Chain A
Amino acid sequence: MIALGILPMIFSLCAAICGVVLLVLIFLDFRKTRIDDGISAFHRHIDALSPQARRDSIVRNDNDSNRGQYR
């Protein structure tokens, strides 16, 4: 009787531990993703400011304004 009563408790405890571990893993993964997001957003930001990225919008206008197209 006592053994039968302990068994569900052990299973419940194991399930609870597994649940907590799962939650911790999910939280750590989420945190890692956020850090990665920050890094990739910063890189996107810096890449968008590179001379290569700016060539299209600025050099094209340099040529346009030399020809006086927008005036």
Chain B
Amino acid sequence: MARDLAIDLGTANTLVYMKGRGIVLNEPSVIAVNRKSGEVLATGHEAWDMIGRTPSYIVAVRPLRGGAITDFDITERMIRLLLQRVGVSRFTRPKVVICVPSAITEVERRAVTDATRRAGASDAQLIEQPMAAAIGANLPIDEPVGNMIIDIGGGTSETAVISLGGVVALEAVRVGSFDIDATIQSYVRREHGVAIGERTAEEIKIHIGSAEPSAQDQSADIRGRDLVSGLPKTVRLTAEEVRFAIEEPVAAIVLSVKRCLSKAPPELAQDFISRGIYLVGGGGMLRGLADRISRETSVPVLMSSQPLEAVVLGAGHCIENYQSLRGMFMGSRR
């Protein structure tokens, strides 16, 4: 008998929750494929190590961009492999709940459910990421009080106001931590004449990236390829430069939070001041981002204790209480 599953199919990472067991898999949403034969060569961490370092006949790709499937076939194969790895066989077909960005279109929604069903699920239900994140972050969403949550993922940033088990206000933008990495890449290319890969850009963001100035601001030596000579080159990058480089996506995220605040009913708005806004998702771990949002909105911002796992834990709770929480699923409400 197959155990039902919850999957956080993120642009950056994929997490799988198995009913009765908890999180059983957490790895990058990357798949490496042989272009000639079409064979899958690696997934997850192994494929992530290959990004930008493969011979021409191997391609290591992220099949999701902005929370949406960009390559249906590869996504289906990735989901099939994920299901196999957690013990799903041809004869055991589990029910699967998948977390998706709230802003996805009807076509994208159908692409996700079709890919999951074809990969071996008996039933595929979708749940909005901010709702799942609020459940997973253990916010008191069963009470008639305003709970605000910001989920900053690899490709999307979503802000939601939740009360009495339902979404009251929602704002989503297709800007995430990958856009922050991309702005670092283009800044280094433009200002220093050096090409760097997306993994290097991510490392720069993690080590010296910040959304607000702080006493811990540092600089780092970056290695890349000189655009003029084509030779390896090292340049020094300061935290201030990185802050300047990533200003555009950071400002877009902050603006979407402000828009969501303005949509919230006044009765709930006063709850945010006393209870604060919760921040989840890998992108939310950018240094100083909570302070920046707090400064611009005048509302305290708190980091969830499990920012990377909150979404899948929330979806996992829905799979544990499938009948009672059926109303949470996207198809059941629309």
A contact residues vs B (CB 8 Å cutoff): 41, 44-51, 53-54, 56-58, 60-62, 64-65, 69-71
Contacts and interface: CB of A to CB of B under 8 A. Distances in A.
Interface in B1-39: 17, 22-26
Contacts of A41: 327
A56 B321 CA distance: 11
Contacts of B327: 41, 45
Contact of A57 (B25, B141, B320): B320
Interface in B134-154: 135-136, 138, 140-142
B292 to A, nearest CB: 27
A41 B165 CA distance: 12
Given A58-B136, A62-B306, A64-B22, A49 B165 contact: yes
Interface string B277-318: 000000000000000000000000000011001000100110
Given A49-B325, A70-B23, A61 B142 contact: no
B165 A51 contact: no
Interface residues of B, number: 26
B30 to A, nearest CB: 16
24 contacts: A44-B324, A45-B325, A46-B142, A47-B324, A48-B317, A49-B135, A49-B141, A49-B142, A50-B142, A51-B138, A51-B140, A51-B142, A53-B321, A56-B320, A57-B317, A58-B313, A61-B22, A61-B23, A61-B309, A61-B313, A61-B316, A64-B23, A65-B309, A70-B24
B298 to A, nearest CB: 28
Contacts of A47: 142, 324
B164 interface: yes
B320 to A, nearest CB: 5
Main secondary structure of the interface of A (DSSP, over half): helix
A38 B140 CA distance: 22
A71 B26 contact: yes
B313 A45 contact: no
B219 to A, nearest CB: 32
B324 A48 contact: yes
B96 to A, nearest CB: 16
A58 B305 CA distance: 11
A18 B135 CA distance: 52
A5 B82 CA distance: 80
Contacts of B313: 57-58, 61
